[in-house]
A and B are shown apart, each in its own frame.
Chain A
Amino acid sequence: MSQEMEAVIGLEIHVQLSTETKMFCGCELSFGDEPNIHTCPVCLAHPGSLPVPNRKAIEYALQIAAALECEVAPRSIFHRKNYFYPDSPKAYQISQFDIPIAGAGRLGEVRIHRAHLEEDAAKMIHVGESGRIQGSDSSLVDFNRGGTPLVEIVTEPDLRSGSQVREWGQLLRATIKQLGVSNVNMEEGSLRCDANVSVRPVGSTELGTKTEMKNMNSFRFIERGIEAEITRQKELIAAGGKVVQETLHFDPSTGELHSLRSKEEAHDYRYLPEPDLVAIVPTEQMIADAVASLPELPAARAARYRDELGVHDSAALLLSFETEWADFFEGVISHDSSIEPRAAANWVTGEFAAELRKQDDQTLADSKVTPAALGALVALVGSKRVSHGSAKSVLEVMVAEGADPLAVVEERGLEQISDSGELESIVKVAIENNPKPAEQVRSGNEKAIGALVGAVMKETKGRADGGEVTRLLRQELGL
């Protein structure tokens, strides 16, 4: 009898902080610059050089701790994590080990285990066909990235599926982006996510043997990688096998999992309390400042849109995860108190976003449409001065030219037909000209009414209110 299995997933997320300088020296942070120009005796680990912690990085870590509702350690220390590799010039990484700056916390449905400060490694470039160190002709090191401040966030194993990981990961990314402490760009590596995956019988509270999936550069890939790994583990166990603890790499192009190293090859990091640094002891004021500095975070924003403004769930999430879209949306609804937020949210995330994509894939920042202009258009629709259909044509012009919606409506005579006598006569003509669908409707096929609505819309060039047209048609047809 095969037992039903569930997946248990925990994440380790590395966030590069967007401070001006590195974690332990004064070198500028950069991306894509000429190699090895942002270096000094400290980040090249010259003999005798010493680390000095970046105060801003500590403040950013405290902000992340506040956003994740973590307990802040009154006194946390750094350790040396020893390993030999050319990307680590000291041959140890300065990281936090048993006393991290931030302890237990929560984001959404996932508990945070801890968050700690550390420094990033340098970047290795392996010259040769393989692109990996094995089999490369030579390897180059770019120390520009070495020493970039990182916050590593470790979750409890509270996630259960690849899609949940994707959604939660997007929430975390949006939350950190909102704080303004990181660029959270996965392709550039300013946000990196490792996942620990195991499976166990449903109902069990014990954890199965886990595998670790390293460094995937999009949440879509992470979702796919995790799903592939869950399937592999379930099949393995169903076939009587055992999961072996190892580190895996998911290749999104082939959908295959490769083993990077097994537990036996795992490093002994010989952790040592870092004697070159004193403890981080945040003052009450620093912790209070971090809490006070928190903007409205995506989760809270989505809840407010949903619960207070009645915005549809999916639109609320879409807006909240993208700060600039949320700001735009709030600009739209503040244009006119008559605007219904739910409708405005649908316009912003629906027609407007689609029209931007359609017209040269514009970004919101590129767009000529101001929140006030879109607000004016939504208000015109709301007050039934412009039909939904006409409004879409107006929007097209607005996106292309940045025009004022009312001017477009007037110029093109798109104002909705508000005279019910005029509309009634158009409806009657439409029924006369389309006897076949009219008959079908009368004999009970209500769906056939669509053809009649279409005829009215064609005649009015979309200037009629769809609901009103249907009501008049049904009235005329005796329904």
Chain B
Amino acid sequence: MASPELLTASAAETAALIRDGQVSPSEVLDTWLERIGADDLNGYLWKADRDAAVAGVATETKGPVSGVPVAIKDIFCTAGVPTTAASKILEGYRPPYTATSVTRLADAGMPMLGKTNMDEFAMGSSNENSAYGPVLNPWDRSRVPGGSSGGSAAVVAGGLAPWALGTDTGGSIRQPAALCGIVGLKPTYGSISRYGMIAFASSLDQCGPLTQDVTDAALLLSQLEGRDEMDSTSTGIEGGIKLPTATDLTGKRFGIPTDLIGDGMDPGVKAVFDETVQRIEGLGGTVVEIELPHASHGISAYYVLAPAEASTNLSRYDGVRYGIRESDADLTSMYEVTRGDGFGTEVKRRIMLGTYALSSGYYDAYYGRAQRVRTMIVRDFDAAFSDVDFVITPTAPTVAFGLGEKTVDPLTMYLNDLFTVPMSLAGIPAISIPAGMAEPEGGGSLMPVGFQIAAPAFREQKLLEASLALETAIGFDRSGGRVGS
């Protein structure tokens, strides 16, 4: 088995080669460890050597994913391995423990290639909020990869990892997957343990796979899902996840929330979306217009709820126990200087937003009201799913935008999450699959466009089946993202 073929094989294909004895796990690992040296996207914050990659990894070779290495978003704690959440405040931090999801992958025999770059504490949609520099989009290095799992998306799209782990709070898996032309799945809230996953907004944060294709997403999810006694909000997915096999969409109903998607997207994105809708119909599916009357308020509610939770989740970075400590003068200056220097602008902005929203006298007007909007969005989806099997939207209103293009105005940046946030608020599973290419507004080379499909809670299997059938029909060519090709 020659290395170039390994580097273009999907994770599932590589796993099959290992199981069949056509290639050894150590050949696979060596190939990939050499390959990550080619990362010129700033996708990795830390790269493993051989010893670190296999530390704690089960050596059994007959499992469904044995021997296939994985890139891990730097938001997951990894014992003894630098874990920063791309923040200066955690510079030099090496956790004393490993996140449950990472442990599950190690137990399944998957070596760790490295820790991927991201927006600081997962706050951002462009990966420009990393304290360690932006990640470049492998399709066009003048453009962003999306965020916050920008590093994970870029290394998979760039052929620098077979697959990667990410997290999604308001779109942080799906949006970068869309902008990089790969598959990103945010499973149902609670289906995968959050233990060891650095918290941004605990009621929304969800771990999930970023992969080359739908089959890989199913395979990785099957390893990750499950109840964990260390996370009392975790449930797992009843019945587990099997590899999808569907080839058509006969009898399946898809709903387009026209009031949500409106006209707020680039013409190129709309064209790909419309084309994909026709493919669904071509596969035997039915597409109807539906209403999600409150979904357009999702962004407003999200940018109250997520910062509110973040403001308390990030209070622990105080310079007392780990990470940096910038001043010893007295208690107040230790807090102020450490946090002032340690956090980046966007993180500070959200901490202040959230602190304000939770303040005595404002709680009900902001947090309370946002919670009520969230409840209404949940009901909107419940109502929609009584009529349709899936809700479909473009994943993001635009293709990958230019570096620095949206950093001036945070509100414009926040709007990039318009279509992904409602599913996060409702806690339901949603996937982004690459659906085609479009020219960016203002010109430039063609960039990938993502198509989002959402399903009722814990219906990941149905979601993956439909996604596979559609993916096959689309036949997206992902080779244009490969680094060094």
Q: How far is the CA of A278 from the CA of B202 in the complex (A)?
A: 12
Q: Which residue of A lies closest to B96 (CB)?
A: A41
Binary contact track A65-102/B, C-beta < 8 Å → 1, others 0: 00000000000000010101010011110000000000
Q: How far is the CA of A49 from the CA of B316 in the complex (A)?
A: 11
Q: Are A44 and B321 in contact (CB under 8 A)?
A: yes
Q: Which residue of A lies closest to B83 (CB)?
A: A47
Is the C-beta of A268 less than 8 angstroms from some C-beta in chain B? yes
Is the C-beta of A288 less than 8 angstroms from some C-beta in chain B? no
Q: How far is the CA of A82 from the CA of B314 in the complex (A)?
A: 11
Count of residues in A whose CB is under 8 Å from the partner chain: 31
Q: Which of B201, B308, B316 contacts A89 (CB 8 A)?
A: B316
Q: Given contacts A41-B95, A80-B312, A272-B309, are A48 and B195 in contact (CB under 8 A)?
A: yes
Is the C-beta of A371 less than 8 angstroms from some C-beta in chain B? no
Is the C-beta of B355 less than 8 angstroms from some C-beta in chain A? yes
Binary contact track B61-86/A, C-beta < 8 Å → 1, others 0: 00000000000000111000001010
The secondary structure that dominates the A interface is loop
Q: Which residue of B lies closest to A266 (CB)?
A: B360
Q: Which residue of A lies closest to B90 (CB)?
A: A47
Residue picked from B203, B316, B322, most chain A C-beta under 10 Å: B316
Q: Which of A46, A51, A275 contacts B95 (CB 8 A)?
A: A46
Q: Are A92 and B321 in contact (CB under 8 A)?
A: no
Q: How far is the CA of A270 from the CA of B93 in the complex (A)?
A: 28
Within B358-377, the residues touching A (CB, 8 Å) are 358-360, 363, 367
Is the C-beta of A276 less than 8 angstroms from some C-beta in chain B? yes
Smallest CB–CB gap between B484 and chain A, Å? 34
Is the C-beta of A277 less than 8 angstroms from some C-beta in chain B? yes
The secondary structure that dominates the B interface is loop
When distances are taken between beta carbons in the complex, the residues of chain B under 8 Å from A268 are: 359-360
Q: Which residue of B lies closest to A80 (CB)?
A: B312
Q: Given contacts A47-B90, A92-B312, are A278 and B95 in contact (CB under 8 A)?
A: no
Q: Are B309 and A41 in contact (CB under 8 A)?
A: no
Is the C-beta of A141 less than 8 angstroms from some C-beta in chain B? yes
When distances are taken between beta carbons in the complex, the residues of chain A under 8 Å from B75 are: 48
Q: Which of A48, A272, A275 contacts B77 (CB 8 A)?
A: A48
From B33-41, B226-234, B396-404, B458-466, the one touching the partner chain is B226-234
Q: Given contacts A268-B360, A270-B360, are A49 and B233 in contact (CB under 8 A)?
A: no
Q: How far is the CA of A41 from the CA of B316 in the complex (A)?
A: 12
When distances are taken between beta carbons in the complex, the residues of chain A under 8 Å from B308 are: 272
Count of residues in B whose CB is under 8 Å from the partner chain: 44
Q: Are B77 and A47 in contact (CB under 8 A)?
A: yes
Q: How far is the CA of A14 from the CA of B77 in the complex (A)?
A: 35
Smallest CB–CB gap between B303 and chain A, Å? 16
When distances are taken between beta carbons in the complex, the residues of chain B under 8 Å from A278 are: 232-233
Smallest CB–CB gap between B357 and chain A, Å? 9
Q: Which residue of A lies closest to B76 (CB)?
A: A48
When distances are taken between beta carbons in the complex, the residues of chain A under 8 Å from B90 are: 47
Is the C-beta of B198 less than 8 angstroms from some C-beta in chain A? yes
Is the C-beta of A400 less than 8 angstroms from some C-beta in chain B? no
Is the C-beta of B199 less than 8 angstroms from some C-beta in chain A? yes
Q: How far is the CA of A291 from the CA of B125 in the complex (A)?
A: 54
Binary contact track B214-251/A, C-beta < 8 Å → 1, others 0: 00000000000000011111000000000000000000
Is the C-beta of A237 less than 8 angstroms from some C-beta in chain B? no
When distances are taken between beta carbons in the complex, the residues of chain B under 8 Å from A466 are: none
Is the C-beta of A271 less than 8 angstroms from some C-beta in chain B? yes
Q: Are A276 and B315 in contact (CB under 8 A)?
A: no
Is the C-beta of B331 less than 8 angstroms from some C-beta in chain A? yes
Q: Given contacts A270-B360, A272-B367, are A50 and B77 in contact (CB under 8 A)?
A: no
Q: Are A270 and B199 in contact (CB under 8 A)?
A: no
Q: Are B99 and A48 in contact (CB under 8 A)?
A: yes
Q: Are A270 and B316 in contact (CB under 8 A)?
A: no
Q: Which residue of A lies closest to B232 (CB)?
A: A52
When distances are taken between beta carbons in the complex, the residues of chain A under 8 Å from B320 are: 86, 89, 141
Q: Are A46 and B312 in contact (CB under 8 A)?
A: no
Q: How far is the CA of A133 from the CA of B75 in the complex (A)?
A: 35
Q: Are B197 and A48 in contact (CB under 8 A)?
A: yes
Q: Are A270 and B95 in contact (CB under 8 A)?
A: no
Q: Are B316 and A91 in contact (CB under 8 A)?
A: yes
When distances are taken between beta carbons in the complex, the residues of chain A under 8 Å from B359 are: 268, 270
Q: Are B198 and A47 in contact (CB under 8 A)?
A: yes
Q: How far is the CA of A53 from the CA of B232 in the complex (A)?
A: 8
Q: Are A52 and B321 in contact (CB under 8 A)?
A: no
When distances are taken between beta carbons in the complex, the residues of chain A under 8 Å from B358 are: 82, 270-272
Within A238-271, the residues touching B (CB, 8 Å) are 268-271
Is the C-beta of B196 less than 8 angstroms from some C-beta in chain A? yes
Within B398-446, the residues touching A (CB, 8 Å) are none
Q: Are B315 and A92 in contact (CB under 8 A)?
A: yes
Q: How far is the CA of A141 from the CA of B322 in the complex (A)?
A: 14
Q: How far is the CA of A46 from the CA of B355 in the complex (A)?
A: 21
When distances are taken between beta carbons in the complex, the residues of chain B under 8 Å from A48 are: 75-77, 95, 99, 194-199
When distances are taken between beta carbons in the complex, the residues of chain B under 8 Å from A50 are: 194-195, 230-233
Q: How far is the CA of A47 from the CA of B360 in the complex (A)?
A: 27
Binary contact track A28-59/B, C-beta < 8 Å → 1, others 0: 00000000000001001111111111000000
Q: Are B85 and A47 in contact (CB under 8 A)?
A: yes
Q: Are B85 and A270 in contact (CB under 8 A)?
A: no
Q: Are A45 and B316 in contact (CB under 8 A)?
A: yes
Q: Which residue of A lies closest to B356 (CB)?
A: A270
Q: Are B367 and A46 in contact (CB under 8 A)?
A: no
When distances are taken between beta carbons in the complex, the residues of chain B under 8 Å from A47 are: 77, 83, 85, 90, 93, 95, 198-199, 316-317
Q: How far is the CA of A47 from the CA of B99 in the complex (A)?
A: 10
Q: Are B232 and A49 in contact (CB under 8 A)?
A: no
Smallest CB–CB gap between B87 and chain A, Å? 10
Q: Which of B83, B230, B318 contacts A52 (CB 8 A)?
A: B230
When distances are taken between beta carbons in the complex, the residues of chain A under 8 Å from B95 are: 41, 46-48
Q: Are A84 and B230 in contact (CB under 8 A)?
A: no
When distances are taken between beta carbons in the complex, the residues of chain A under 8 Å from B97 are: 41, 46, 49
Q: Which residue of A lies closest to B229 (CB)?
A: A52
Q: Which of A82, A139, A272, A276 contacts B233 (CB 8 A)?
A: A276
Smallest CB–CB gap between B104 and chain A, Å? 15
Q: Are A82 and B312 in contact (CB under 8 A)?
A: yes
Q: How far is the CA of A41 from the CA of B320 in the complex (A)?
A: 14
Q: Which residue of B lies closest to A24 (CB)?
A: B232
Q: How far is the CA of A52 from the CA of B138 in the complex (A)?
A: 41
Q: How far is the CA of A278 from the CA of B231 in the complex (A)?
A: 10
Q: Which of A52, A89, A139, A275 contacts B202 (CB 8 A)?
A: A275
Is the C-beta of B132 less than 8 angstroms from some C-beta in chain A? no
Is the C-beta of B335 less than 8 angstroms from some C-beta in chain A? yes
When distances are taken between beta carbons in the complex, the residues of chain A under 8 Å from B77 are: 41, 46-48
When distances are taken between beta carbons in the complex, the residues of chain B under 8 Å from A91 are: 312, 315-316, 318
Q: Which residue of A lies closest to B99 (CB)?
A: A48
Q: Which residue of A lies closest to B328 (CB)?
A: A138
Q: How far is the CA of A51 from the CA of B359 in the complex (A)?
A: 24
Q: How far is the CA of A474 from the CA of B406 in the complex (A)?
A: 112
Q: Which of A49, A84, A276 contacts B335 (CB 8 A)?
A: A84
Q: Given contacts A48-B99, A48-B199, A50-B232, are A272 and B312 in contact (CB under 8 A)?
A: yes
Residue picked from A46, A270, A278, most chain B C-beta under 10 Å: A270
Q: Given contacts A90-B315, A92-B312, A272-B308, are A46 and B99 in contact (CB under 8 A)?
A: no
Q: How far is the CA of A302 from the CA of B35 in the complex (A)?
A: 80
Q: Are B318 and A84 in contact (CB under 8 A)?
A: yes
Known: A50-B230, A50-B231, A82-B315. 20 other contacts (CB 8 A): A47-B199, A48-B77, A48-B194, A48-B195, A49-B196, A50-B233, A82-B312, A82-B358, A86-B331, A90-B315, A91-B315, A91-B316, A92-B312, A92-B315, A133-B331, A271-B358, A271-B363, A272-B367, A275-B203, A276-B231
Can you spell out 17 A-B residue pairs with CB atoms less than 8 angstroms apart? A41-B77, A41-B96, A46-B321, A47-B199, A47-B317, A48-B199, A49-B195, A50-B195, A50-B232, A52-B229, A52-B231, A53-B232, A86-B331, A91-B315, A141-B320, A275-B202, A275-B233
Shortest Cβ-Cβ A-B pairs, 4 listed: A91-B315, A275-B203, A270-B358, A275-B202
